[in-house]
Structure formats: C-alpha cells, structure tokens
Amino acid sequence: MTGPTTIEEKKWGKLGKMMKQEGYAWVHPVVLLPGFVSTSLEVWEAHPECQSYTPVGARIWGAMNLAQMLQHLRISPKCWIKHMQLDPTTGLDTEHIRVRSLEGLYGAATKGQAYWVWNPIVENLIAVGYDTSNMYVATSDWRLSFSNLEYRDGMMTKMKNAIELFVKRYQQKVVVISHSMGSQLFVFFLKWVESPAGGDGGPDWVAKHIHANVNIAGAMLGLPKAAASMASGEFLDTSLLGRISDIVDMTPFSRLQRVNTYKTWGSLFNLLPKGGNALWGDSDAPAPDDYSYTDACGGFMLGSTTPLTTDKTHSGEGLPSRVMPNVTVDEMITEFLPTQFPSMQHHLSNLSFGYSVTPTDNNDAVFKWANPLEVALPNAPEMTMYSIYGEGSYTERSYAYQARDYDESSEDLKYHINFTKSSGRWTAGVCLTTRGDGTVPLTSLGYMSATQWRKPSHNPHGVKIVTVELPHKPHTLYLRGGDYSCGHVDIMGNRDVNRKLLNIVSGGVEQEAFTSSIREIGDVIYDRLQKSVANRAVPNESEKLRKKAQADERDHARAEHIELKTNDIREDL
C-alpha cells in the first residue's frame, strides 16, 4: 500500500500495534467481503473503438492511485462508460468487452485524495499478525448480480474453497467481515453454500466453518437512494461512494445515460428497498421509524411536485405519457420501474422483495436468497452474527420530482428531482430522516439483527445475534470525520469498530449496545409484516412481476412456435 497522505491515514495500524502490545493476536482466519463499488475493476478485453483509451490492464474503477482511473474517465468518457456497462439482458459482459475485479488485498485497498474503505481495518489486522496466509479478500465485480458472480467468475466457489482451506490448515473457524452490500452477499452465500444447487456443502457446512460474521453498516433491506438512481439516474454520490463522489465527475453523462448504465448492474437491484410498504410506509401510514413525522415525507418513495405528462424518450424508455403519481415502494418495484423502463423487468423478476413467515420453505428458491426477510439463518448455533453500524445521521428517505424543460434533439429523461423543494425535512427535493448512517436508513441497518433474526421463524437453530449501535460523532477538523465518525463508509476507520473487530478475531466476544429505538421500531415493523402477509399484500406484490414475466415468456415462446408452424405450412404449400 502507498504511504499515508492525511492525518487520519497516519493513524492506521496504530490501534492494532497497541492492542498487540496488550496481548491481542490473531486466532481466527479472516475473510473480508467488500460491498458496492469497493473493489477495483480492470480491463481484460477492450472494445475495438477504445483500445487506445482503455487498453488491457487499464484500471477503470478504483486502483491504489485513483489518478489512473480518473485519467481514463477524463480522456474518453464515452469509452469509460461503455466499459462500465453490462449487457442489459444477461447482466454479463457486452460484446468485445471484458472487465474483471482486481483480486487480493490490492483489489480492495483503493486509496487516493482521502478516499479509502478497507485500508484502516487491513492495517490493524496486519498489526496483530494477519497476512495473505490467514486473510482472504473476497473481491468481486460489484456490478454483477449475486448469481452472476458465481456463474461468470466462480466467486462463491473461490470463497468457499478459501474458507475450507483455512479451517483445514489452522483448525479454527473463520470470521467473515462484511461491509454494506457485502453483508447482503454473505446472506446469499449462506444459502448458496448449503444448497445442492450451489456449493453443495450440506446443512452443517456453516456450523463447521464459520465462527462469526461481523456485518459493518450492512444495507440488509436496501436503501431509497438505489430507487432514485434507477428512476432518474441520480448520482450514487455520497450514498455509497463516500469521498470518491468528490473525485469522480459524472456530469459528462446525462441522466438517461446513467440510468442505462445502472440498470445493467444486477447488484444495484439487490439494493432496492425490501419489505414493501409495511416497512417503508405509504399514504395511510408512515414508515415505522418515522412516527414523529407522520406527514414529513408523504409516505411515498418517489413523487412529483408538478404534472409530468411528456412522452417517452427517443430510446423507447423514459416517462410514460401520463402524470407521474406518488409511488410507494411496492408500486415502484412492481409497476413504475418496469413500466418506465421495460428492460428492467427481467432483472426485477429474478429477485424478491417481500416477506415470508415460513422462510425455511425457500431453501431452494434462489431468487429469494438475497432477501433476509425471506430466508432463515443456517443450522449453526455456535456462530455469532454481529451487526455493527452507526446511527443518528441525516439519511435520504424519499424524492420529489418535477418536469424539466426538454429539447427534442436531446436524448434524456424529461424529469428530475425538484431541487427547489426545501422546507421542513425536505432539502433540494430529498426528504431526510435523522435516523441512519447518512446512506442507509436505520430500519435497513438494524431491523434484522434487532428483531427478525431473534424470531424462531428466521433463526430456527439459535444463531447468536449481537447488535452494536454507535452514535455518529464526527470531528470537523478531519476530512473523513475522525476516529469516531460513523458514516456509512467512514465507519471503517472508526476506532471503536476496529477495536471490536480485533477483539473478535483474537477470540474475544462483544456485547450488545443500543443507542436508538430500533427495538421498539422493530416491534412495529414485525407486526405490520405479519399483518401484510395475513392480508396477502406483500406476497402478491412481490410475486406479481415474476408472474407477469413468466406470462410474457410463455407468450413469446407461443408466438415463436406459431411463426415456425406457419413457415412450415408455407414451405409445404
């Protein structure tokens, strides 16, 4: 890794060295599981039109020196975004382009201009004895859906093999440290590794191999920002990128170009909010974590402040010719996005966003594995699931849109966030809640660990659950908030978090700590989810799109069959 460039970076590793002097030393092998945008991407095959701009080996995302990435973005934005896009139908490589994640420690050790994610944790782990012999970094192409990570790259097989090798070599179970979307991916891995259709490890694999999962700022139930990015190409900015949003200039790309890129990333669909209106609210009842502000965000996820009645864009996708309604989470997933962008329907139909009262019935339902509300934890009563996250920061909840002046010669969306809407908790068209880590709302961060995983339905074998909430205490003199910042990305450098991590991997245990009302909020959410199932609201909504996609496929196949038969008859005549 390159040397430190800021005061904060100069502190990396000091905590680990101090704890080593106190007697801490590694006990459990470690697997690091990065989240969204946290792994460097490099070109393995460049498009013929772009070989001089993005040659083989070019780091188009991340890299130890971000200047490498920015150079490609600035010289040829068209080539850069062409290589960042995937096939909109398969979610895999486009023709003549291959981009892959950089493997190993350096794949996750992106650093530059005060941007970092895993660096503080890695340096503290190194200080207590970790290196490549007992630490595996499960880097991945974060653009891909979870299923495609295995299908194209064998990512989960590699992770399974690494864990098995560690256990065999050291006779110690592994600690998996996951961040953000990586924590969702770990839930998927737990189902995949047991299933005959996946890793075929059997029902006791997790119990034999995993000591603990330390989930840091896990977006377990998605986040509203993913919806805004899908709907209108809003920047993913600080929501998931942290300070990299100050470095990466996306202004050369129109909103439609950004949407057309985002909708090819299967991973981003996993970040759409899960649980339906019962968890995220509607016009009849606000979100359960928003009770003191019953009308502040209006009970919708996406809404309009002016009539939006323009036609579709030249691409055939955009805003339908009708007034944009205020849409809830359920309506957004099952109606708004697939109607506005038909090409999204395929990806949406391969996922599930609902809730199950009998999650053990879904052990073979691959499309549900990424949704912790619909799957049960494994038969591993000695395993501990730690959920560590920050709370108390303003966090985006919903978005207000308005029509924009439209030039017929321009291929762009005809609406955008109403940046003039600023009153109460609305700031520049975005409704903010004080509960969250600045990116992920409190319910997504904490509901599973505080409530749902404590129910026999979702934790039938008694996996130990430990929730650790940390109040956000940023220091204004530091670019990344200092030792006690708990922002979504900055928490990776939080001193308390790193101390807890080093204690756990050294064989210690951590106790629960609550600073918010997540348990009371969780009780309300649980009751709502149970009632929604009784009313068949959430299951119908989450299955609606899947059934429509299946019907469309049957109709398409039937039409092809009729056409073939017609051609045969014509040939006979």
Task: Report whether pLDDT(140) > 60.
Answer: yes
Q: Which is it for strands 395-403 and 384-391: parallel, antiparallel or unpaired?
A: unpaired
Establish if 447 belongs to a structural domain: no
**Average pLDDT of span 478-507:** 88
Q: What is the pLDDT of residue 314?
A: 39
The dihedral sign for the CA sequence 482, 486, 488, 489:
positive
Rounded to 5 degrees, what are φ and ψ at 213?
A: -115, 125
Cα 384 to chain centroid distance, Å, stands at 22
User: Which residues 6+ apart lie within 8 Å of 27 measured at CB?
Assistant: 172, 505, 506, 507
pLDDT bracket for residue 460 (50, 70, 90):
very high
Establish if 287 belongs to a structural domain: no
State yes or no: is 304 an active-site residue: no
Rounded to 5 degrees, what are φ and ψ at 284?
A: -85, -30
**Percent of the chain scored above 90 by pLDDT?**
54
How far is 522 from 435, CA to CA, in rounded Å?
14
Cα distances (angstroms) measured from residue 211 to each of 372, 380, 512, 556: 20, 9, 18, 48
How far is 425 from 151, CA to CA, in rounded Å?
44
User: Which residues 6+ apart lie within 8 Å of 505 measured at CB?
Assistant: 26, 27, 28, 30, 125, 128, 130, 175
Name the packing angle between helices 77-84 and 255-262 (round to 10°): 30
Q: What is the pLDDT of residue 128?
A: 98
pLDDT tens, residue by residue, 345-391: 888 989 999 999 999 999 999 999 999 999 999 999 999 999 999 99
The answer to whether 495 touches 484, Cβ cutoff 8 Å, is: yes
Per the model's pLDDT, the better-predicted residue between 283 and 275 turns out to be 275
Q: What is the pLDDT of residue 317?
A: 55
Establish if 49 belongs to a structural domain: yes
How far is 352 from 343, CA to CA, in rounded Å?
17
Establish if 292 belongs to a structural domain: no
pLDDT tens, residue by residue, 146-194: 999 999 999 999 999 999 999 999 999 999 999 999 999 999 999 999 9
User: Which residues 6+ apart lie within 8 Å of 193 measured at CB?
Assistant: 156, 160, 199, 201, 205, 206
DSSP per residue over 347-359, as a string? HHHTS-----S-G
Domain with 72, as residue range(s), is: 41-81+95-101
Rounded to 5 degrees, what are φ and ψ at 567?
A: -65, -40
Task: Report whether pLDDT(120) > 60.
Answer: yes
Name the packing angle between helices 146-153 and 155-170 (round to 10°): 80
Task: Report whether pLDDT(400) > 50.
Answer: yes
Q: What is the pLDDT of residue 257?
A: 87
Cα distances (angstroms) measured from residue 119 to each of 183, 290, 393, 490, 542: 18, 35, 23, 11, 39
User: Which residues 6+ apart lie within 8 Å of 71 measured at CB?
Assistant: none
Q: What is the pLDDT of residue 309?
A: 46
| CA geometry: angle 328, 330, 332, nearest 5 deg | 65
pLDDT tens, residue by residue, 313-345: 434 455 443 445 688 999 999 888 888 788 888
Task: Report whether pLDDT(81) > 70.
Answer: yes
How far is 322 from 521, CA to CA, in rounded Å?
37
The answer to whether 173 touches 28, Cβ cutoff 8 Å, is: yes
Per 3-state DSSP, the chain is made up of helix, strand and coil in percentages (nearest 5) of 40, 15, 45
Q: How many domains does the chain have?
A: 1
Q: What is the pLDDT of residue 364?
A: 94
- Give me the catalytic one of 40, 180, 239, 506: 180
Q: What is the pLDDT of residue 25?
A: 98
How far is 459 from 438, CA to CA, in rounded Å?
29
Most confident option among 42-51, 63-72, 427-436: 42-51
Establish if 56 belongs to a structural domain: yes
Q: What is the pLDDT of residue 552?
A: 58
- Give me the catalytic one of 437, 483, 490, 496: 437
Task: Report whether pLDDT(63) > 80.
Answer: no
DSSP per residue over 222-289, as a string? --HHHHHHHHH----HHHHSGGGGGT---TTS-HHHHHHHHTT-HHHHHTS--STHHHH--SSS--GG
DSSP per residue over 165-197, as a string? HHHHHHS-PEEEEEETHHHHHHHHHHHHHHSTT
Q: Which is it for strands 426-427 and 415-417: parallel, antiparallel or unpaired?
A: unpaired
Task: Report whether pLDDT(426) > 80.
Answer: yes
Give the tokens for residue 219. 């977006």
How far is 214 from 468, CA to CA, in rounded Å?
10
Say which DSSP state 415 is in: E
**Averaged confidence pLDDT in the chain:** 84
Q: Which of 141, 186, 511 is nearest to 377 (CA)?
A: 186
How far is 436 from 445, CA to CA, in rounded Å?
8
Range with the poorest average pLDDT among 108-122, 332-346, 482-496, 512-526: 108-122
State yes or no: is 180 an active-site residue: yes
The answer to whether 173 touches 209, Cβ cutoff 8 Å, is: yes
Establish if 73 belongs to a structural domain: yes
Rounded to 5 degrees, what are φ and ψ at 323?
A: -70, 130
Establish if 529 belongs to a structural domain: no
